[in-house]
Amino acid sequence: MVQDIHSHYSLSDFHRFNEIGKDKSKLFDDDEDFLFSPSSYSALHTTLSNGVQMPLLGLGTTHSGGYNHDAVVFALRKCGYRMIDTAKRYGVENKIGKAISDSGVPREDIFINTKIWPTDFKQGVKNVFEASCRRLNVDYLDSYMIHLPIILDNSGDQKTVLQETWRQMEKLYESEKVKSIGVSNFEISDLETILEDCSVNPHLNQCEFHPCQNPTSLRDYCKENKITFSGYCPLAKGRILNLDQIQKIAKKHGKTAAQICIRWSIQNGVSAIPKSRKLSRLFENSLVFDFELSPEEMFILDNLHLTENMKVIEFNNIKDTMYLPDGYNTKMIDTHCHLADDAFSEDLDEVITRAKNAGVQAAIVCAEFRWQYEKILEMSKKYPDFVMPAVGTHPIQEGHISTTLEDFQDTDVFVKDHHEEIIGLGEVGLDSNPRFLKDPDLEKKIQQDVLLKHIQLSKDFDLPLNVHSRSAGKPAINFLLANGAEKVHMHAFDGNAKSAKPGIEAGYYFSVPPSFARKEEKKSLVAAIPLDRILLETDSPVLGPEPGERNEPANIRFSAEFIAIVKKISVEEVIRQTTENALRLYPKISRSLLKLK
């Protein structure tokens, strides 16, 4: 049953728990003696039908590319999180096992949940379970779940496979190697299949849950059958945090919108498992026990889904990607970055390693200035399986001055000498930002002359143009079209959907950096571009997911996730299609990688 948290803890108790964490000098130092005790946050729990207690606040984990070891240790050691939710599919179980060990928190104080993926059903639940335990370095689990009610083609009918898999889950539970068994992402019909032929009802059903995704009928069904409904994605990947209703409540309590969403879940008796790689966010997410939402505020949030319904996790095309490696390391291509920038001079090896671990197959490294040309070519020789070189005359040169035809002369010679080694011309284009133009009319005309010469080089050597358009989105596309540019890649297009339309109709490609997710107006732009004309980029070291922080290719998944949200499709479909698009526009990437095999 779901235990009323107020039956055991008053607001003064919650306040006391939070006051422990508000001493940031303790939270963020390396004091080995400062450790949250099990009597703090872990005491706030829901009770499953078999009497097992599960914390109401937990830590969600992410795929291998975005996993942060220090963040998990910090959450356990400094913030009092006592539940970790993961899955074999995420590819991080071994890393979590190490983080638990490094945290110093006793195993028995942590509620650990992991899941079995549908492609592993044929191996047998017991074998997959034991492998997860070995990776986690534990001899038992607090909860084990079926990740999805989806059955692979040619593996039998869904009802038979689910019921047989559940019988194996029951045997596992009877062996006392796991304290509770459950399911994830099961709808009522899926639960009916299990309940029709089972000796142990699922103890848990974990589903997406936030104010804009509140499946009341499913929750009622779970309650009737003594199945604890638990939640994931409590912040809807940040998509709901700017809603007026949530913002007004947050302002009234002096809290963040994220804290309001987490608190709403907890007051509903539904466990929340927010995830973050940032220590400050983990700390912030834990400070939800020193205030209470009023009945009126709960009513507003309980019913928000009726007018602002939103589901951010979809499984419509999951079968297409079911066999991808654990960790979701689908190979992505960063089609525009600047790894020759001085920002990467000290740790380029580590940056590339992180990118590969995040599932980035290759990165088109563009030049901004002439001195970078040789450097980028050398990088492509040192990292032939990753760095794909592109050179071109940027419209704004060093010293923030507009380019000249003399700048292009060096580019012209270099491209003619090395056209077989480079895969594109970039970064080229137009820039009408008044900060960089002393004589706007003259300098804009010269920029156009330089771009025209790049268009000719593109045709002569069959090299795509990687185009810059700051404060010049519409003029850049119009100029390219007027001068017959064919293979065009608009990087971080600085314009709206209307100004992009002629380029879209001409078959131009548009790449999306992580920063677009921070700009409301970019949603309509991305929505207007067909998926088969979208590319991923980071523009590292700038245009990252967080303003003012150095960006790097490993962050490219933020772009894919943003596109998936706008297009209402899976991230895997975005990655598959954008990679296909990149290889279509830049065929030399495939040729370069094939040479290495």
Q: Quote the strand ranges of 338-468, DSSP E.
A: 360-366, 387-391, 396-397, 401-402, 424-429, 465-468
**Helix ranges, 367-439 (H):** 372-382, 405-418
pLDDT at site 29: 54
Catalytic (active site) residue 90: yes
pLDDT at site 590: 79
- Which residues partner with 426 through β-bridges? 466
pLDDT at site 66: 60
Q: Annotated catalytic residue: which of 41, 67, 81, 90?
A: 90
Residue located via tokens 């002569």:
460
Q: Which residue, 468, 152, 451, is CA-closest to 320?
A: 152
Residue 498 amino acid letter: K
219, with CB counted inside 10 A (0-12, 13-18, 19+), is buried
106, with CB counted inside 10 A (0-12, 13-18, 19+), is exposed
- Domain locations in the chain? 5-306, 330-595
Neighbour count for residue 341 (Cβ, 10 Å): 17
Fold annotation for 330-595: TIM Barrel (3.20.20)
What are the tokens at 273? Answer: 């498992």
Do the domains 5-306 and 330-595 sit in the same CATH topology, yes or no? yes
Say whether 448 sits in a helix, a strand or coil: helix
pLDDT at site 542: 96
Identify the CATH number of the domain defined by range 5-306. 3.20.20.100
Give, for all 597 residues of the chain, the pLDDT tens digit.
233 333 333 344 444 444 444 454 455 555 444 444 433 443 489 999 999 999 999 999 976 556 789 999 999 999 999 999 999 988 899 999 999 999 999 999 999 999 999 988 878 899 999 999 999 999 999 999 999 999 877 778 899 999 999 999 999 999 999 999 999 999 999 999 999 999 999 999 999 999 999 999 999 999 999 999 999 999 998 889 999 999 999 999 999 999 999 999 999 999 999 998 889 999 999 999 999 999 999 999 999 999 999 998 878 656 655 665 676 446 899 999 999 999 999 999 999 999 998 899 999 999 999 999 999 999 999 999 999 999 999 999 988 999 999 999 999 999 999 999 999 999 999 999 999 999 999 999 999 999 999 999 999 999 999 999 999 999 999 999 999 999 999 999 999 999 999 999 999 999 999 999 988 889 999 999 999 899 999 999 999 998 889 999 999 999 999 999 999 887 888 998 898 889 889 989 877 765 554
What are the tokens at 404? Answer: 């000249």
Distance CA 597, CA 594 (A): 5
